[in-house]
Amino acid sequence: MACDCFLCGAASGNVLLCAACDESLPYLTDQRCPQCALPGVDARQCGACLREAPYFDATHALWTYDFPVNRMIQSLKFSCRLANADFFGMALARLASMKSGAVNQLEHDRALPSDSLPDFILPVPLSAERLAARGFNQALEVARQLSQQTGVPLMRYDVVRQRNTMPQSRLPWKARVKNIRHAFDCQMDLTSKTVWVVDDVMTTGATLNELARTLKAHGAARVENWVLARTLKHE
């Protein structure tokens, strides 16, 4: 079914954005830390990750958290525009295809190489209270499309957010680590498994690091973050 571009209103076929608006999004370049995805002068590990390595092994991010990506993510989270989640999940699947060196595989309906895929895809869980208030988990909606495109099973019930923490966005950066500590519980043996963790925005990385710490404590061999947008330090 034909639709109009979410951003400019031009005809966009059956996708959320027209080609021009898609190309204008603030895509991250390859000049970024492979572990935390902060932009740098090259693609080497940044000083912060060298000084204190996070529990996660890599971070893949599509865009910087700037206009219009920020508005698109907010529209999903707070206005329940679930069509955005399908667009985001497809964009992450294309990124996974490029990372595997199989850029055109998704367009030809062929699965990604199995050796480039994880064992599970995990959307960052919401607390029961936050889920009840919002009505859905935006990370799950994005991860659902990524799972469909890659054929990797979703972890929906084996990892839970056991504490209803204060929203990280309301806290100073240094307080976020303490706020999220021990917030997650894993009820699955992940020995030797690789997990892709899906989230919408990565800011300090405290939530993703605590979740990776929990997964590693339950045996995970590798944890990678797959996020839509990376907030830059000055933001």
CATH code of residue 123: 3.40.50
205 vs 136: CA distance, rounded Å: 22
Element (H, E) at 178: helix 173-180
Question: What percentage of the chain exceeds 90 in pLDDT?
Answer: 75
Which has more confidence, 63 or 104? 63
Judge whether 112 lies within some domain: yes
Cα–Cα distance measured from residue 22 to residue 12, given in angstroms and rounded to the nearest whole number: 10
| For the chain, percent of residues with pLDDT exceeding 70 | 89
Q: CA-CA distance, 7 to 28, in Å (whole number)?
A: 20
DSSP 68-125: THHHHHHHHHHH--THHHHHHHHHHHHHHHHHTT-TTTGGGT-PPPGGGS-SEEEEPP
Rounded to two decimals, what is the model's pTM? 0.90
Residue 235 lies in a domain: no
In a domain, residue 214? The reply is yes
> Does residue 5 sit within a domain?
no
pLDDT band of residue 90 (cuts 50, 70, 90) is very high
**Exposure string over 204-229, b if 16+ CB within 10 A, otherwise e:** bbbbbbbbbbbbbebebebbbbbbbb
Rounded CA gap, 165 and 160, in Å?
13
Report the sign of the C-alpha dihedral through residues 72, 111, 224, 132, in that order. Answer: positive
Rounded to whole angstroms, how far apart are CA atoms 146 and 196? 10
- 168 against 179, higher pLDDT: 179
Give the number of domains in the chain.
1
Q: Phi/psi of residue 28, each to 5°?
A: -75, 145
- Is residue 18 one of the residues assigned to a domain? no
State the residue range of the domain holding 173.
Answer: 31-230
Dist CA 225 CA 210 (whole Å): 12
Cβ atoms of 32 and 43 closer than 8 Å: yes
Q: What value does the mean pLDDT take over residues 207-219?
A: 97
Specify if 10 maps to a domain: no
Whether 86 is in a domain gets the answer: yes
Question: Between 14 and 121, where is the model more confident?
Answer: 121
Place 153 in a pLDDT band, splitting at 50, 70 and 90: very high
**Domain assignment present for 17:** no
